[in-house]
Amino acid sequence: MFGLDRKDASLLIVVAALTLLAPFILNPFPEGSSLAQFNAGYPDLMQRFVIFGIFAIGFNILFGLTGYLSFGHAAFLGVGSYSAVWMFKLLSMNVIPAIILAVIVSGLFAVVIGYVSLRRSGIYFSILTLAFAQMSFALAYSVLTPITNGETGLQITLNDPRILGVSQTAQGGIPVTNIFGLEMRSTYQLDVGPWLFQFNAGYYLCAAIMLVAFYVAIRIFRSPFGLTLRAVKSNQQRLNYTGMNAKPYTLAAFVISGMYAGLAGGLMASMDPLAGAERMQWTASGEVVLMTILGGAGTLIGPILGAGFIKYFENIFSKINDNVLHGWFSFLPDGLENFIVGILHPFIGKGWHLTLGILFMLVVIFLPGGLVEGGQRIARWMKRGKASKSSQNTNPAE
């Protein structure tokens, strides 16, 4: 199907089913129950899942395939956001031109930065990309204020021209982002018994784009181009000796992943039309690295898993507070309850980053393949358990 082999096609279908049914899947607990806070099926969070999914998929094309660790990818995200918001200011509130411009501008940006940075590899490459990203961040904050609106961040206002749209709505408000009239924020709510499911137009746009992006990533992974990129990762010198110049390939990978980041930035601005410089800071670049590694670099599904995992727990963990913990452990004797809550206290709420840092370290130390490798290990272990019970077949030595 679509030029994919069976395994990839089924992976794509599973991912498609999961994203399209996400409002159901992420909302397993009825409204008003004590577990309702674990629900993630509201539009804002679901949008972030898929947008950061796109960002991580793109980062994975560079890092997972070529092994070049970029520490400045957030710069492309920021550039994408800025160009999208400018499109909303100047042209119209339709998201399509905004997203297209975001991808193009970030792609151009990636060509320039990639051309320079890719002259070095290893840690030097990381530092060069970091330097470029910090430079963009500093410039966006200071000199480029006419374009970026500095610290306040770029926003749409009532007196923007918007040539193809309207400067303000009939009610005198700021128009909202839409796709040919369908507003991004419009949400259809479905009440089923105690459950409330929300179907958001913006989410489904992002989800559709993510599926396309994911499909393209699969094609890249399986193409001769992807194979060349893997060769760069495993042994660039040998690749050079076979008479192949690796540079155009790595540059192409860099630009593609920069465009993915720009796409994510454009979508982010489409969902909420503002852009700020802090999106370009190097901690934001670090976040996408965390997502990709946590999920499993170099695998197809890993980055999406990692993005979803981090964003979900960021939201949920930061919502848990001491009262909630007391609620959970109320069955214990008082002293023990207070003791356990006291121990857990640093890891929840505002301390979520501590949990994330520890988790990340554990993954890097014990599970270099990320969550995907963890899943594979469990699957292998289960299979082995079954196989030893049912069959006596011995595998031929390899």
DSSP-derived secondary structure letter, 34: T
Stretch that binds other proteins, among 44-52, 162-170, 306-314, 356-364 (CB under 8 A): 356-364
Instruction: Kindly state whether residue 251 participates in binding other proteins, applying the rule CB under 8 A.
Output: no
Residues numbered 139-168 forming contacts with other proteins, rule: CB under 8 A: 139, 141-144
Q: Smallest Cα–Cα separation from 204: which of 95, 79, 106, 82?
A: 95
As measured in angstroms, the least distance from the Cβ of 359 to other proteins is 8
**Contacting residue, 161, 327, 342, 346, with other proteins by CB under 8 A:** 346
Number of amino acids touching other proteins (CB under 8 A): 40
CB of 115 to other proteins, least distance (A): 11
Interaction between residue 138 and other proteins (CB under 8 A): yes
Work out how close the CB of 135 gets to other proteins at its nearest, in angstroms, rounded to a whole number. 4
Show the tokens assigned to 214. 């994911």
Smallest distance, Å, CB 28 to other proteins?
Answer: 30
**Min. distance of Cβ 266 from other proteins in angstroms?**
25
Q: Contact at 8 Å (CB) between 305 and 295?
A: yes
Residues 6+ apart with CB under 8 A from 41: 22, 23, 24, 25, 26, 27, 197, 198
How far is Cα 318 from Cα 42, in angstroms, rounded to an integer? 16
Of the pair 135, 208, the CB lying nearest other proteins is at 135
Nearer to other proteins by Cβ, of 327 and 357: the residue is 357
* Distant-in-sequence, close-in-space partners of 268: CB < 8 Å, separation ≥ 6: 51, 77, 80, 81, 279
Nearer to other proteins, 120 or 380 (CB): 120
With beta carbons less than 8 A apart as the criterion, state whether 267 and 46 touch: no
Shorter beta-carbon distance to other proteins: residue 254 or 282: 282
Q: Shortest approach of other proteins to residue 321 CB, angstroms?
A: 15
Is residue 220 within the footprint of other proteins (CB under 8 A)? no
Burial of 141 (0-12, 13-18, 19+ CB in 10 A): middle
For CA atoms 83, 89, 93, 97, the dihedral sign is negative
Q: Quickly tell me which residue has 């990340």 as its tokens.
A: 360
Of the candidate residues 13, 21, 34, 122, the single one contacting other proteins (CB under 8 A): 122
The window from 117-125, 179-187, 301-309, 385-393 that contacts other proteins (CB under 8 A) reads 117-125
Integer Cα distance of 363 and 357 in angstroms: 10
Cα 78 from Cα 89, distance rounded (Å):
17
Among 112, 123, 182, 227, binds other proteins (CB under 8 A): 123
Please check whether residue 302 is in contact with residue 221, taking contact to mean a CB–CB distance below 8 angstroms: no
286 CB-near residues (< 8 Å, 6+ apart):
71
Stretch that binds other proteins, among 7-15, 155-163, 165-173, 345-353 (CB under 8 A): 345-353
CB of 142 to other proteins, least distance (A): 5
Which run of H or of E encompasses 196? strand 195-200
Kindly state whether residue 67 participates in binding other proteins, applying the rule CB under 8 A: yes
- Asked if 349 interacts with other proteins (CB under 8 A), we say no
Cβ proximity of 200 and 41 under 8 Å: no
Q: How far apart are CA 205 and CA 91, in angstroms?
A: 20
Our CB check for other proteins shows the closer of 270 and 299 to be: 299
Q: CA 381 → CA 374, 376, 385, distances in Å? A: 11, 8, 6
DSSP string, 261-287: HHHHHHHHHHHS-EE-GGGGSHHHHHH
Residue 375 binding other proteins, by CB under 8 A = no
Residue 135 near other proteins by CB under 8 A: yes
Kindly write out the interface string for residues 274-313 of this chain, putting x where it contacts other proteins by CB under 8 A and - elsewhere.
--------xx--x--x---x--------------------
**Cβ neighbours for 344, distance < 8 A, ≥ 6 positions apart:** 325
Q: Is 360 in the site for other proteins (CB under 8 A)?
A: yes
Is 188 one of the binding residues for other proteins (CB under 8 A)?
no
Q: How far is the CB of 107 from other proteins (least distance, A)?
A: 21
Residues that bind other proteins (CB under 8 A): 67, 69, 116, 119-124, 126-128, 130-132, 134-135, 138-139, 141-144, 282-283, 286, 289, 293, 346, 351, 353-354, 356-358, 360-361, 364-365, 368
